Structure 1
């Protein structure tokens, strides 16, 4: 693509990172008339992220729909991510209300399928130049703001100028580092390992999550009959896993309530994971820079929210900045104002969720409010549906814990205690003295 002479820029926007967030942002921006360079440091168009829950929460379904990916995802065999959750009070099994609409859903799909799919869609979108093997090595600075990137490419070093640089390059974002974007890190008191199994039956064919208070595990069915099983124990178990990873992983899974029958299934990958996965929160903008996906906010993987938030943040950015970023359409100063709007929306939608996740990542036992909501959800279908909306990130923490919801959960538990209590004077003899 030639440089627009009137602007002095090669592109309107440079996006660093062509996985979920970056590819989605490139597509959505280009459809709105923005010229986009989509950079990916890896040269393989089929490259994908390995360390992932491989699940997209229901909040991101509208983004998948706007991208036009839903038919392709379903054709690839993705599994709707209905689920049940184990607690010490029993299983929480969200179900649609009788006569009501089906519960919101998105999909479980492996990144080895999804990443090449969305990257190919981006590369075929008019207005997007997909540049593989391009790794950002620095930023172009001009008049106190970012005006492009320097990149290492198969042909050597290259400078690419743009009105806006988007960091979609993960939790260790080079764009954020070079831009000096401040951030905050939260320690994670759990570690995680996972493996893929083929032909592993799960109760009802549903995804399973185990809240073992404080340890965690999940099993998510994916396309091609492959199930991802992850264990996320508190770090008190770390030494045992270091001494015998395979034995500890398998023993942990076998001990789960209604444990998946892993011994009769075929394990098709090695056990992989990480012993240190802190949560990150960064300011999502700087002059001439926007961050999306894990570059802006890295959540706790046990909640499976990363893919959904990557897609949502890409959509929020495109909606906020497209008018201002497109050549010849935005007035001076409009881009800064649009970045302020994006940052405000990002904080409003995700800050509360991240606050709760960072607190739960301390690997502490359930607090009283969590005990109230989880126990009531195991006993009442309406509360279970309410929890499903929160787990799908379709409602905010404030709405999840609103006074009516808390009062309802309290009433459910009170009825449960009364029903379980022995009748008055049951210990006395029925015969009169």
Structure 2
């Protein structure tokens, strides 16, 4: 076990939660010279998150690369998360520009594969003590700030003193609760159910998302020939759905345009889900505390952004606080680095979350969404632009910048003119002649 320094701290940083965000933060901090205790409440080192989209958006590919996980993920059979999206105007099918670079991507990979992989990588990183079966039960407070945690361990209660406590413990974060971190909760107007199927072909081998305006569904291919299918209807359908969960789920999927052939595939899991999955936004920091992943911000699962944001927020935190967390800086450096992390977190994610909260009301598309989605179904350049936004590589302001909106408007105007001309054009001569 890492030996404590004579500073009164057992570790520089204690992280609660050893899933994606916590394990990534532990690795990235330790590589920068930080002594880390990585606490995981579950005793099984192969434990994993069940309720998940199992998809990592392209914005997190650089984090996977820095972690050194890309070769292992690809060896495990992860599928590049290229996708096509159904709308009432047709399919949006992003493709690389002729002669241009390939579209950015990351991976679909089940958490049963990914979580043990990254947790094992964290446990093998010099400077990280991975402690499973350790559940945070409270915080150590000193001079008005958090200075460690109390935890229930297999050997009994124990204190872990540290300069910084990181909550990577999910949407119901105990660290956030004990620290009194303020936040907001937003109702989700949809419920969701998931199931995994084996040997389920999808057109082009691509992921599919159905924007049924306002109901939703998706099918994401994963490693080992397994496809995750989710249905996310508006809550007005919940009473009827609950009467026959399996029948309702299967009927919903069968009715999708270009529906996946689930009746010829093997379902390998039961149908699981949630009827109430609110969105959370919390302050990412408090004195001596930082929150990452779902503990800081829980998005709508229909967008599949949780894994990507967990990895990104871990990287942002490590980049901001590593030097100060070791105690090598001047007094006050840790607080200043936490301010920098919080500012970056808000700047990068607040706009995305604002749009997600609005769309989670399970309302129909608004006029701007109708403009962008319809144009993307008709024009490859707009489809590529939408792919960058869906991959969270550009901000909402850049996605909806005046040039992009003007381009979408021009595409739709051209489409309307073309169809208007087709409607008024006389038929060919050989069809207009009348029989004697």
- With normalisation by structure 2, the TM-score equals 0.96
Structure 2 SS opposite 1:427: helix
Shift of 1:331: 1.5
Q: Deviations over 1:138-163 (max 9, x none)?
A: 00000000000000001100000000
| Contact in 1 for aligned 2:14/2:39 (Cα 8 Å) | yes
What secondary structure does 2:5 align onto?
Answer: coil
Secondary structure of the corresponding residue to residue 118 of structure 1: helix
Distance 1:47 1:102 in 2: 35
Which 4+ runs in 1 deviate beyond 6 A? 423-433
Q: CA–CA distance in 1 between the matches of 2:419 and 2:341? A: 45
1:219 touches 1:229 (CA, 8 Å); kept in 2?
yes
Contact 2:325/2:334, CA 8 A, preserved across alignment: no
- Given that 1:190 and 1:363 are in contact with CA atoms closer than 8 Å, whether structure 2 keeps it comes out as yes
CA distance in structure 1 between the aligned counterparts of 2:169 and 2:16, rounded to whole angstroms: 6
1:7-34 Cα offsets, whole Å, 9 max, x none, are: 1100000000000000000000000000
Shift of 1:326: 3.9
Gaps of 5+ in 2: none
Quick one: distance in 2 between partners of 1:412 and 1:202?
29
Shift in Å at residue 240 of structure 1?
A: 1.3
Give distance in 2, aligned partners of 1:177 and 1:186: 17
Distance 1:178 1:208 in 2: 40
Shift of 1:44: 0.2
SS of equivalent residue, structure 1 residue 428: helix
Tell me the CA shift for residue 4 of structure 1.
3.5
Q: 1:372 and 1:326, CA in 2 relative to 1: closer, same or farther beyond 3 A?
A: same
Q: CA distance change for structure 1 residues 419 and 10 in 2, over 3 Å: closer, same or farther?
A: farther
SS at match of 1:91: strand
Structure 1 contact 21–310 (Cα < 8 Å) conserved? yes
Change (3 A) 1:417 1:336: farther
* 1:418–1:372 distance in 2 versus 1, CA, 3 Å: farther
User: Aligned partners of 2:36 and 2:234: how far apart in 1?
Assistant: 43
How far residue 382 of structure 1 moved from its aligned partner, in angstroms, is: 0.2
Q: Deviations over 1:321-348 (max 9, x none)?
A: 001x443412110000000000000000
In the other structure, the counterpart of 1:123 is 123
Distance change in 2, residues 1:3/1:237 (3 Å): same
| TM-superposed deviation, 1:429 | 9.2
In the comparison of the two structures, how many residue pairs are matched?
432
Cα distance per residue 1:286-340 (max 9 Å; x no partner): 00000000000000000000000000000000000001x4434121100000000
CA contact 2:188–2:278 (8 Å) conserved in 1: yes
Q: How far, CA to CA, are the matches of 2:116 and 2:254 in structure 1?
A: 34
Cα distance change, pair 328–421 in 1 and its aligned pair in 2 (3 A):
farther
TM-score, scaled to structure 1: 0.97
Kindly provide the CA deviation profile for residues 196-215 of structure 1, in whole angstroms up to 9, marking residues without a partner as x.
00000000000000000000
Tell me the alpha carbon deviations over residues 28-68 of structure 1, each in whole angstroms, 9 at most, x when there is no partner.
00000000000000000000000000000000000000000
**Aligned CA distance change for structure 1 residues 332 and 6 (closer, same or farther; 3 Å):** farther
- Paired residues of 2:56 and 2:106 also in contact (CA < 8 A): yes
1:241, CA displacement in angstroms? 1.5
- Taking the TM superposition and a 5 Å limit, the aligned residue runs for 1:80-91 are 80-91=80-91
Deviation at 1:2, TM superposition (A): 5.7
Task: Give yes or no for contact 2:205–2:221 (8 Å, CA) kept in 1.
Answer: yes
Asked if 2 retains the 8 angstrom alpha-carbon contact of 1:3 and 1:9, the reply is no
